Amino acid sequence: MSELLIQGGTVVTADSMGDADVLTRDGSVVEIGSGLTTDGRVIDAAGHWVMPGGIDTHTHLAHPIGRLGVTTADDFYTGTVAGAFGGVTTILDFGLQGKGESLSFARDRRLAEIHPDAVIDYGFHMIVTDVRDEVLAEMPELIANGFPSFKVYMTYSDKKVDDCDLLRLLETAGKHRGLLYLH
């Protein structure tokens, strides 16, 4: 069991801000209050704000821009290091489904690209470009296992979905408590 006490800072929560200590155990906050103690590590936060890390829900790291033949400048190492320096502890990027691919294949490919390099927590939205019955059938499993959001293009002819497919995606996502991003 590993404890960390962040002592004497200005603690910012969802509904308040004030001087307090924050005690964590095994990476989770277990108590916020005054005069807390621990036998573990102590950080003096006097004069500093203590607050949850930021979550950037729309990043494009090592993202191919197919029509331009380029990839975005930051990869998962440089982008997540930059985020960490700015107080971001989690990013949500994108996993692009190619034509003819399953969503699971696209997910696994993107996980392999992210995993070795990211220094903070991450997730991603699946970009659906090829709507088929078998793709719709994959969505409930993805939603249930940590991939609840899907990006859909209404532009760019190589990625665009039509109105009928958009409706099918919305119905499937809604039925299983998923979310659609529209571009």
Q: Model confidence over 65-111: pLDDT tens digits? A: 777 788 888 999 999 999 999 999 999 999 999 999 999 999 999 99
Q: What is the pLDDT of residue 11?
A: 97
Contacts 24+ apart (CB under 8 A), 95-101: 95/124, 95/125, 95/126, 95/127, 96/63, 96/64, 96/127, 96/129, 97/126, 97/127, 97/128, 97/129, 97/130, 97/135, 98/129, 98/130, 99/129, 99/130, 100/130, 101/130
Residues 151, 107 share a domain: yes
Q: How confident is the model at residue 163 (pLDDT cuts 50, 70, 90)?
A: very high
Report if pTM > 0.85.
no
The number of CA neighbours under 13 Å toward the Cβ of 148 is 9
Same domain, 37 and 72: no
The domain tally of the chain equals 2
How would you class 34 by CB atoms within 10 Å of its CB: exposed for 0-12, middle for 13-18, buried for 19 or more? exposed
Do 157 and 177 belong to one domain?
yes
The residue range of the domain holding 141 is: 54-182
Same domain, yes or no, for 21 and 83?
A: no
Q: What is the pLDDT of residue 31?
A: 96
Q: Any idea what DSSP says for residue 156? A: S
**Judgement on whether residues 75 and 149 belong to the same structural domain of the protein:** yes
Q: What is the pLDDT of residue 54?
A: 93
129 shares its domain with 84: yes
**Residue among 54, 49, 52 nearest 19 (CA):** 49
Which domain CATH number covers 85?
Answer: 3.20.20.140
Same structural domain, 169 and 103: yes
Q: What is the pLDDT of residue 156?
A: 84
Same domain, 91 and 169: yes
Instruction: Output DSSP code: residue 160.
Output: B
Residues 78 and 149 in one domain: yes
pLDDT tens sequence across 33-54 = 999 999 999 999 999 999 999 9
Q: Are residues 45 and 66 in the same domain?
A: no
For residues 46 and 59, state if they share a domain.
no
- CATH code of 20's domain: 2.30.40.10
pLDDT band at 167; cut points 50, 70, 90: very high
